[in-house]
Amino acid sequence: MGPFTLTHEVEFPNNWPSKGVDPPTDFKIPDPPLMPQPYALRKLPLTSRFTPTSNLYTGPGKWSQVYRGVFDTPSLRSIDAVLKIYVWDCFPHVQSDEDASYESLPLPYSVPDSYRNTEEIMAWTESWAYGKLSHLQGTIIPQFYGAYLVKTSEESKAHFAVAMSFVNGIPFPQRAAALGGEITGNQQWYPLALALFKGVYELEKSGICALDIRDGNVRVVSSLAGEYPVFFDFAFARPISFEDETLDEIHRVKSGRKTDLSGLRKLIRAVTGYLTPEEEQRAWAFAHWARKNHGDERWMQEWGSNAMQRLEPNDRE
């Protein structure tokens, strides 16, 4: 695979893309552009390149095409990083329903036919999220290297993309299972599961929700200080609150936060199992341990105890 050309660096506004983003008037236009253009483009030297070394997540029916490779730009010299490219023709709604009608107004949130699911807006959203979480970069989220326009071939159009550091980690369920999460009574995996919950608390405390928490977006990494989860993929994130409750409802903040809790529960149950009473009790035993040993901590009192409740065996949401 040859190098990709980085044509421009994109400087998005600092706000989440709700201000200045109106539904397009013609939904039959593929990947409708924002008008007027709310961001600035800085032309890069013709020698600016990203050379892929491996495909991390590519193919049709995906919201992004993700590559690991090496950057060569004025600000990023020979850096091993990840480039996440938004390619409209590979989006799920294009692949799954090419004859879909766009006559009615799509919903303003993350469903396949949402008017927010364009290359521009998804890159803007992800850039906003990393900016909002700048104090966590390099710890529980990757280091962010900016947004770009990228041509994957000489003939192709330029696509919006974002760049971040590569996370060399293990999927959370795999690592937690290796620590004994599938064994009733084993507590060795508890500290890692606790770090998972605390990580989501830190992200929401920083002002964002709808974090798309799932196996593919969480990796466990090791350091001298121990093991901890790293979260990534914030293209569908949104603020945890708006100026008024009406906007909260329009942008489904409550649903986004509920989905975050559901994502946590699914990750834990991917480790412990959930098909039998014994398997469900493994997850519930972790919740009891966490509350007993960390109940006096501020994060647990503000958020964690309620989040742990989702692990209760009879919780079917």
pLDDT digits (tens, 9 = 90+) for 165-202: 999 999 999 999 999 999 999 999 999 999 999 999 99
Q: What integer best gives the mean pLDDT of the chain?
A: 89
Q: What is the pLDDT of residue 96?
A: 41
Beta bridge partners of 5: 49, 151
Helices 190-205, 277-294: crossing angle, 10 deg rounding: 70
Q: Give pLDDT, residue 154.
A: 78
CB 265 within 8 A of CB 306: no
Its pTM surpasses 0.85? yes
Per-residue pLDDT band for 108 (boundaries 50, 70, 90) equals: very low
- In the beta sheet, which residues pair with residue 146? 163
Q: Residues, the chain, total?
A: 317
Across residues 201-224, what is the average pLDDT? Answer: 94
- When pLDDT is averaged across residues 86-110 and rounded to a whole number, the result is 55
Per-residue model confidence (pLDDT) at position 116: 74
Buried-state track 14-29, b at ≥16 Cβ within 10 A, e below 16: eebbbeebeebeebee
Using alpha carbons, select from 8, 3, 71, 4 the residue that is nearest to residue 37: 8
pLDDT recorded at residue 18: 78
Give every strand in the sheet of 226-231, ordered side by side.
170-171, 218-223, 226-231
CA 290/CA 149 separation, integer angstroms: 45
**Domain at 4-165: CATH code:** 3.30.200.20
**Residue range 32-56: mean pLDDT, rounded:** 93
Give which of 209, 189, 211 is closest to 270, Cα–Cα: 189
Pick the CATH number of 170-309 from 1.10.10, 1.10.1060, 1.10.510, 1.20.120: 1.10.510
CA nearest neighbour of 142 among 224, 68, 39, 59: 68
According to the model, what pLDDT value does residue 98 have? 39
How high is the pLDDT of residue 316? 55
* Contact by Cβ (8 Å): 192, 175: yes
Which tops the pLDDT comparison, 261 or 225?
261
Q: What is the C-alpha separation between 36 and 21, in angstroms, rounded? A: 9
Residues of the chain with CATH 1.10.510: 170-309
Q: Which residues of the chain form CATH 3.30.200.20?
A: 4-165
* pLDDT for the residue numbered 100: 38
Quote the DSSP letter at residue 137.
B
User: What dihedral angle (degrees, nearest 10) is formed by the CA atoms of 227, 147, 74, 165?
Assistant: 10
